[in-house]
Amino acid sequence: MGVIAQALLRWYDKHARDLPWRVRPSARAAGVRSDPYRVWLSEIMLQQTTVAAVIPYFERFTTRWSTVEALAAAEDAQIMAEWAGLGYYARARNLLACARAVASKGGRFPDTEAGLRDLPGIGAYTSAAIAAIAFDRPAVVVDGNVERVMARLHAFESPLPAAKPALYALAERHTPKARPGDHAQAVMDLGATICTPRRPACGVCPVMPACAGRKAGIADRLPAKTPKKPKPIRYGIAYLAYSADGRVFLQRRPERGLLGGMLGLPGTDWSETPPRPAPPFRAKWRPVGEVRHSFTHFHLVLSVAVARVGATHGFVKPELTSLPTVMRKAVAMGLSAFQNVG
């Protein structure tokens, strides 16, 4: 095992973050193994999302569905409702598909990267993370934190995303055959708590003596990144129909596409030019303003129109249903408009 890997593991043994899906180093040393289900669930939830945002979702999911078989038996709508607000809803659909695939094979996850990649929603990073953390396979686990640590440690100045293969090779060089799961989590913890994007705490870094970026005085500006193109803006209209007894009209979105399978307000398509009005039914629709929301590839400007109508099929209490964030914003604006006019 290399000097850097040794230093990282010594640091991790003392300073590992306490996370609900993680087996602490002391427990692993005593023979406690990670639960592949919890490792897989956390890794899917953590894709493009922060640890702080994921923890309450993870705890709710594992309380309600404590095994992969239990999750596989859940209804699609239940999963989508619990996932609401976490974003990137294709992950939720893949989560359920993967759970059902694993459950159909006896509830056991494959213990190799290749086997894991055959499951729905599991790519190169996620398969490596599960293989290393859950099964102690010497897989190379590289996320944004690891890329930052490697770029700084080696003063690697080529910009992302083109630098990804080279940073992967550097991470592979340091990945030990012993305790690869703890090593992977150590590097990620280092990036999350010490080797942070801004103002890295180099003075307490366990690999500071070997850090070429610090020696060159460029650590805080690594990794370099190619400037991103501005996100395009799309426009849409959402229609909030509100009944006298406090219910709103919701529809389930098509399974495929953005926010697929989620409940939401009826409305127009989202396009690069403001759309023509297309209310779901005849009513006295009144525009009340706009909500704005950013997705991965575009910004959305969603106009909200409201109408008070008699309740019919499809009307529900808004506080009793889970909605994606952009729809929550639209409902909140519409309900506020009703309250303001009495």
Q: Give the residue numbers marked as catalytic.
A: 43
How many CB atoms lie under 10 A from the CB of residue 57? 18
Buried-exposed string 156-190: b where 16+ CB fall within 10 A, e elsewhere? beeebeebeeebbebbeebbbeebbbbbbbbbbbb
The pair of structure tokens assigned to 261 is 């399978």
Task: Report the relative pairing of strands 299-309 and 286-294 from DSSP bridges.
Answer: antiparallel
Contact yes or no for 113/131 (Cβ under 8 A): yes
Q: Which residues contact 5 (CB under 8 A, 6 or more apart)?
A: 174, 175, 176, 183
Task: Report the relative pairing of strands 315-316 and 299-309 from DSSP bridges.
Answer: unpaired
- How far is 335 from 163, CA to CA, in rounded Å? 48
Match 């090593």 to its residue by tokens: 183
Contact yes or no for 266/239 (Cβ under 8 A): yes
Backbone angles phi, psi at 146, to 5 degrees: -65, -40
Output the furthest CA–CA distance in the chain (Å, rounded): 72
- How far is 304 from 286, CA to CA, in rounded Å? 8
Q: At what angle do helices 180-193 and 124-135 cross, to 10 degrees?
A: 120
**Exposed, middle or buried: residue 98 (CB in 10 Å: 0-12, 13-18, 19+)?**
buried
- How far is 71 from 80, CA to CA, in rounded Å? 12
The pair of structure tokens assigned to 340 is 């303001």
